[in-house]
Amino acid sequence: MSASRSVVLRGYSLVEMLAVMLVFVVLAAVAVPLYLNTRKTSAARVCKYNVRTLVAAECNYATRFSLFCGDTNASTWEASYTAATTAGVAPAGGLIGAPEGLTTVPVCPLGGKHYSVIIDADATRTTCTITCPDFTTHKADTGTAGVSDWKVTLTLGQADTSNP
């Protein structure tokens, strides 16, 4: 006498598959906005530290030469801050390669735009304002009210309070 056994192959039911897919959709709905928010916040943070780097370079230059670098009509770091200089020699319009510590011209991570640098229009060049081109976007992304992290004005003869 031979007994026959039937083998039943059982797969996942439609309800089980839908439940698994629902779990994945919920996880994606939670993770994607968090990921995008993290990217925006980190871009704002990088930009803030780029501005601080530029402020430090300008302060170092102003300490050495009693004026801020650049021309009075300069609008970006790219335009008047890239000339290489030698140590101990007054830079002719550039901080790259100078003892100020810059090796590259920093740009805003959002759009790759250069920071605006406005030197006062008179011949003394004693006031310098450094501004991120996307500071309004950074304010919105981080939820901050002020622009002091992305727009800094320096004046010779005063203490630097831009980096608390």
Q: Which domain holds residue 40?
A: 15-155
Phi, psi values for residue 27, rounded to 5°: -60, -40
Give me the helices (H) in the chain, please.
14-65, 77-80, 135-142
Indicate whether 122 belongs to any domain: yes
Whole-model pTM: value is 0.65
Indicate whether 128 belongs to any domain: yes
* Count of domains for the chain: 1
Indicate whether 164 belongs to any domain: no
Indicate whether 162 belongs to any domain: no
> Is the pLDDT assigned to residue 21 strictly greater than 90?
yes
Indicate whether 90 belongs to any domain: yes
CA distances to 4, 28, 105 from 7, in Å: 10, 38, 71
CA distances to 18, 25, 74, 101, 150 from 12, in Å: 10, 19, 68, 63, 55
The H or E element containing residue 117 is strand 116-119
Indicate whether 8 belongs to any domain: no
Indicate whether 100 belongs to any domain: yes
- pLDDT value at residue 24: 95
Indicate whether 131 belongs to any domain: yes
pLDDT digits (tens, 9 = 90+) for 83-136: 544 555 555 556 766 666 677 778 888 888 888 877 776 666 677 888 888 888
